[in-house]
Amino acid sequence: MSLSPGEILALAMLATLALALFSGLPVAIVLMAVGFAFGGLGIFLGLMRAADFGAIYFRVYGALTDSDEILYAAVPLLIFMGSALQKAGLARDLLLGVQGLFRRVPGGLLIAVLVLGTVLSPTAGVIGASVSAMAIMALPVLLQQGYRPADAAGVVGAAGTLGVVVPPGILLFFVADAIGVQVPAMFLGMLGPLALLLGGYLVFVAVFRRPVRAPIASDGSFSERATPRELLLRLAAPSLLIGAILASIGLGWASLSESAAIGAAGAALLGAAQRRLSLADLDAAIRQTLLTTAMVFFIFLGASVFSLVFRLLGGANLIAGALRSLEVGSIGVLVVSLLVVFALGFFFDWVEIVLVTFPILRPVLEALDFGGHIAASHLALYWIAVLLALNLQTSFLTPPFGFALLLLKGAAPPGVTLADIYRGAVPYVVIQVIVIAAVIALPDIATWLPEQAFDLSLPHGGKFKE
């Protein structure tokens, strides 16, 4: 196989990126730097024109302003909602409420942690944030209640990564956009696999994970003395808010950004009505929203410089051609693509994987023919998008490199070792792999629900594409 000079440069570009990312510079700046350097080289060798760099402004402006389809406006609103829920202590209410409800169930506190991870999904902007938050909130309580460090760390890692793929988490938003499927349909598509996943987790903790010793001391906390009615009341408000968002999208009452606005206002009003969200908290939530939104979209800018040059040099075609030349059938190509994404998840957060890698994989995945394996060809991309999201989450949780596990070690109390964390994570990774295999074998798990709610045969173009 002979490579053109442009393709050689494109491969060198990928290799340089892989090394330069470890320089410690912000990822977005590294992406720009590699893009500029190889763009300059391309111009010098006559493979690109200097005028091509003029497209950067139009890519920035064009990608982020589209009043016909203002999906991106939902991102800061979802982040604000999650932040306000946390600042007002409503997230803590959930932990205490669920813990109280399940106090007589084996592994009740572990169930509470899993539910909390699920409900905190809007705050899970980055895997690091959600895992660290879960570790700080739940790990000391679990250890105090007599769970082994490995069991406690395993459930916290699982809950922290689960939040990343629960609607309306923003990872799903960007996966849908990069793969070119409707975001609300992607949200609904995740519910089937997530039900299996959560069910598997819950059965596992209820049957196999119990405290190995008595709790250190009763802390007389709310969850210990409250009646079931009080506990349900505590649970009701934040659960209703999240449920209302999903319902309004699923039933077609509101678009994504509209329902996110309702969720953001609802979270602030709930906090204010209960006198638990001061002006200072509100201000902190706004600042957090600005920082997290800018963090995600700055990588978007960097990726747009990188991918512009990479495509102009012929890199995207090269990778697509290499994947197509594998003689392993459509399912084989899909599995190889999932494995590539899985390996990337060991080292990188989802933002850079989704924004840099997915647009390159998209044309290959779009062209795959799954024949009779999937009910209708227009459903294939939805199925693939769900698999990619689940796959990323699994990668973050897999020893020894799982990103979430290393972050968990950073936020864990000194008594919890990395070996504990690895041991604790393994059962959840096994459950993840079983669910992914089930979704590959039975695509209806991911496509049935969105197909009932939306007309998925309508074309949908993601904005992050050439």
Partner 1 sequence: MRRAVEHQRLVAFATALAKTLDVGVSGFSVFFGRVALPLIIVCGMGTVVGRHLRIGPSAELKELESILFFAILMISFGYAYLRNALVRIDIVSQHVPVRARAAIELLGCVAVVFPFCLVLMWDGGESAWRSFAQGERLAIGDWPLQWLVRLAVPLGALLLLAAAIAISARCLLLLLASRTSGATGERMPTPFDHESTP
Taking CB under 8 A as the criterion, the residue among 15, 290, 326, 437 binding partner 1 is: 290
Nearer to partner 1, 24 or 220 (CB): 24
Cα–Cα distance between 119 and 168 in angstroms, integer?
10
Q: Does 254 participate in binding partner 1 (rule CB under 8 A)?
A: yes
CA gyration radius for the chain?
23
Backbone CA torsion sign across 325, 331, 336, 341: positive
Q: Which residue has the tokens 């209302």?
A: 244
Overall size of the chain counted in residues: 466
Told to check if 442 binds partner 1 by CB under 8 A, we report no
In angstroms, the CA 284 to CA 86 distance is 11
By C-alpha distance, which of 103, 111, 155, 109 is closest to 134?
155
- Cis, peptide link before residue 168, omega less than 30° from 0: yes
Query: With respect to partner 1, which residue has the nearer C-beta, 125 or 180?
Result: 125
Which of 126, 385 has the CB closer to partner 1? 126
Q: Is 344 in the site for partner 1 (CB under 8 A)?
A: no
Nearer to partner 1, 19 or 203 (CB): 19
Q: How far apart are the first and last CA of the chain?
A: 26
Residue 286: is it exposed, middle or buried by C-beta count within 10 angstroms (0-12/13-18/19+)? middle
Minimum distance of partner 1 from residue 233's CB (angstroms): 26
H or E segment to which residue 442 belongs: none
Among 17, 47, 77, 143, binds partner 1 (CB under 8 A): 77
Q: Enumerate residues 6+ apart whose C-beta is below 8 A from 102.
A: 108, 109, 111, 112
Q: Which of 1, 2, 51, 67 binds partner 1 (CB under 8 A)?
A: 67
The CA-atom distances, in angstroms, between 207 and each of 118, 367, 432, 437 are 20, 44, 17, 23
Residue type, 452: Q
For partner 1, the binding residue among 195, 240, 291, 376 (CB under 8 A) is 291
* Residue choice 41, 258, 373, 463 for contact with partner 1 (CB under 8 A): 258
Cα-based distances in Å from 76 to 83, 101, 179, 255: 10, 33, 21, 15
Site string for partner 1, 348-387 (x = CB under 8 A): xx-xx-----------------------------------
**Residue 310 binding partner 1, by CB under 8 A:** no
From the number of C-beta atoms within 10 Å of its C-beta (0-12, 13-18, 19+), residue 390 rates as buried
Q: Does 124 bind partner 1 (CB under 8 A)?
A: no
Which residues within the stretch 10-49 sit at the binding site for partner 1 (CB under 8 A)? 21-30, 32-33, 36
Kindly state whether residue 54 participates in binding partner 1, applying the rule CB under 8 A: yes
Pick 201 or 350: Cβ nearer partner 1:
350
Does 208 bind partner 1 (CB under 8 A)? Our answer is: no
If one asks whether residue 260 binds partner 1 (CB under 8 A), the answer comes out as: yes
Q: Give me the residues that bind partner 1 (CB under 8 A), please.
A: 21-30, 32-33, 36, 53-54, 56-58, 60-61, 64-67, 70, 72-73, 76-77, 80, 126, 253-254, 257-262, 264-265, 268, 283-284, 286-287, 289-295, 297-299, 301, 305, 347-349, 351-352, 406
